[in-house]
Structure 1
Amino acid sequence: MSIAKAISNAMSGLTATARGTETVAANLANVMTPGYARRDLAVTAQLLGGGVRIDGITRIVNASLLSESRLAASAVGDVSVRANFQLRMEKVIGLPGEAGSLSSALTSFQTALSAAATRPDDEIRLAQVASTASALARGLNAASEAVQTARGAAQQGIAADVATLNTSLERVAYLNARIAILDADGKDASPLIDERQQMIDRIARIVPVQEVPRDAGKVALFTAEGAVLLDGSVPAKLGFEGADQVTAGQVVGAPLQLLSLNGQPLEPAQMRLFGGGSLAAQFQIRDQLGPELQAELDDMAFELHQRLADPAIDPSLGAGDPDLFTDRGDPATAATVTGLAGRIAVNAAIDPGQGGALWRLRAGLAAASPEPTGHSAVLTALAEALDRNRPPEAGSSFVGQGSLASRFGTVESRVSTRRVEAQADMAIRTSRQATITSSIMADGVDTDAEMQRLLQYEQSYAANARVLVAVDEMIKQLLRI
Structure 2
Amino acid sequence: MPGTFFGLEIARRGLSTHRTAMDITGHNVANANTPGYTRQEAVIAATDPYANPTLGSRLLPGQLGTGVEATMIRRIKNEYLDVQARDSISSREYWQVQEEIFGRIEAVFPEPVASGIASTLTRFFNTWHDLNNTPQDPGVKAAVAETGGELATMMREAYQQLEDISGSILKVGSDGNVTGGQLKDQVDAVNEILRQIRELTESIKRVYAQGNQPNDLLDRRDLLLDRLAEYGPVSVTYLTDGGKPTGEIALTFFGVDVRAADVTVGLKLDGAQSSLLQIGGKKVPLTGYPGKAGSLAGLEETRLRIAGYMESFNKLSEALRDAVNEALEQEFFTPLSSLKDGNFAVKSDILSNPSTIKGERALYVARLATIGQADLDGATFGEYFHALLADIGARSGSASNMAGTHRAVAEQVESLRQSVSGVNLDEELSRLIQYQYGYQASARVLATIDEMLDYLINRTG
CA distance in 1, matches of 2:4, 2:129: 111
Structure 1-normalised TM-score? 0.82
State the AA in 1 paired with 2:363. T
Structure 1 residue aligned with 2:258: 229
Task: Report the CA distance between 1:124 and its aligned residue.
Answer: 3.7
- Mark the CA change 1:236 to 1:203 in structure 2 (over 3 Å): closer, same or farther: same
Out of 385, 389, 395, the position equivalent to 2:371 is 389
Per-residue displacement from partner, 1:134-170 (whole Å, max 9, x unpaired)? 1211222122222222221111112111111111111
CA distance in 2, matches of 1:198, 1:129: 62
CA distance in 2, matches of 1:139, 1:437: 46
Per-residue displacement from partner, 1:200-223 (whole Å, max 9, x unpaired)? 111110011111101312222113
Structure 2 residue aligned with 1:40: 41
Q: Determine whether 1:21 maps to 2:39.
A: no
CA distance in 2, matches of 1:158, 1:172: 21
Instruction: Determine if contact 1:169/1:235 at 8 Å carries over to the other structure.
Output: no
How many residues were matched structurally?
A: 427
Instruction: Determine if contact 2:204/2:218 at 8 Å carries over to the other structure.
Output: yes
State the AA in 2 paired with 1:383. A
User: Taking every aligned residue pair, what percent have the same amino acid on both sides?
Assistant: 24
- Mark the CA change 1:237 to 1:35 in structure 2 (over 3 Å): closer, same or farther: same
Structure 2 residue aligned with 1:181: 206
Structure 1 runs not aligned, ≥5 long: 243-251, 318-322, 365-375
CA distance in 2, matches of 1:235, 1:13: 50
CA distance in 2, matches of 1:434, 1:267: 29
CA distance in 2, matches of 1:415, 1:83: 11
Task: Report the CA distance between 1:432 and its aligned residue.
Answer: 0.6
State the AA in 2 paired with 1:234. A
Per-residue displacement from partner, 1:264-291 (whole Å, max 9, x unpaired)? 36264995279621111222233x2122
Aligned ranges for residues 461-480 of structure 1 at < 5 Å? 461-478=439-456, 479-480=458-459
Instruction: Determine if contact 1:179/1:189 at 8 Å carries over to the other structure.
Output: yes
State the AA in 1 paired with 2:78. N
CA distance in 2, matches of 1:217, 1:301: 60
Task: Report the CA distance between 1:377 and its aligned residue.
Answer: 2.4
Structure 1 residue aligned with 2:250: 220
Task: Report the CA distance between 1:198 and its aligned residue.
Answer: 1.5
CA distance in 1, matches of 2:287, 2:401: 29
- Mark the CA change 1:405 to 1:66 in structure 2 (over 3 Å): closer, same or farther: same
CA distance in 2, matches of 1:77, 1:425: 10
Task: Report the CA distance between 1:303 and its aligned residue.
Answer: 2.4
State the AA in 2 paired with 1:436. V
Instruction: Determine if contact 2:286/2:300 at 8 Å carries over to the other structure.
Output: no
Structure 2 residue aligned with 1:314: 328
Structure 2 residue aligned with 1:421: 398
Aligned ranges for residues 265-304 of structure 1 at < 5 Å? 266=283, 268=285, 272=289, 276-286=293-303, 288-304=304-320
CA distance in 2, matches of 1:235, 1:59: 32
CA distance in 1, matches of 2:121, 2:287: 44
Name the SS of the counterpart of 2:289 in structure 1.
helix
Q: Determine whether 1:346 maps to 2:346.
A: yes
Instruction: Determine if contact 2:118/2:385 at 8 Å carries over to the other structure.
Output: yes
Aligned ranges for residues 24-423 of structure 1 at < 5 Å? 24-49=25-50, 50-95=66-111, 97-155=112-170, 156-215=181-240, 216-223=246-253, 226-230=255-259, 234=261, 236-240=263-267, 252-253=270-271, 258-262=276-280, 264=281, 266=283, 268=285, 272=289, 276-286=293-303, 288-310=304-326, 313-315=327-329, 317=330, 323-326=331-334, 330-331=335-336, 340=340, 342-352=342-352, 357-361=353-357, 364=358, 376-385=359-368, 387-393=369-375, 396=376, 398=377, 400=378, 402-423=379-400
Aligned-CA RMSD value = 2.4
Structure 1 residue aligned with 2:173: none
Per-residue displacement from partner, 1:25-52 (whole Å, max 9, x unpaired)? 1112212221110101012101324111
CA distance in 2, matches of 1:54, 1:418: 57
CA distance in 2, matches of 1:275, 1:435: 19
- Mark the CA change 1:116 to 1:146 in structure 2 (over 3 Å): closer, same or farther: same
State the AA in 1 paired with 2:451. E
- Mark the CA change 1:212 to 1:78 in structure 2 (over 3 Å): closer, same or farther: same
Structure 2-normalised TM-score? 0.86
Name the SS of the counterpart of 2:35 in structure 1.
coil
Name the SS of the counterpart of 2:349 in structure 1.
helix
CA distance in 2, matches of 1:60, 1:113: 75
Instruction: Determine if contact 1:74/1:206 at 8 Å carries over to the other structure.
Output: yes
- Mark the CA change 1:212 to 1:94 in structure 2 (over 3 Å): closer, same or farther: same
Structure 1 residue aligned with 2:432: 454
Per-residue displacement from partner, 1:362-390 (whole Å, max 9, x unpaired)? xx3xxxxxxxxxxx4223332222x2232
Instruction: Determine if contact 1:75/1:277 at 8 Å carries over to the other structure.
Output: yes
Instruction: Determine if contact 1:258/1:265 at 8 Å carries over to the other structure.
Output: no
State the AA in 1 paired with 2:410. Q
State the AA in 2 paired with 1:261. I
CA distance in 2, matches of 1:409, 1:275: 29
Instruction: Determine if contact 1:274/1:280 at 8 Å carries over to the other structure.
Output: no
CA distance in 2, matches of 1:476, 1:195: 51
CA distance in 2, matches of 1:3, 1:221: 56
Instruction: Determine if contact 2:287/2:300 at 8 Å carries over to the other structure.
Output: no
Instruction: Determine if contact 2:141/2:354 at 8 Å carries over to the other structure.
Output: yes
Instruction: Determine if contact 1:109/1:132 at 8 Å carries over to the other structure.
Output: yes
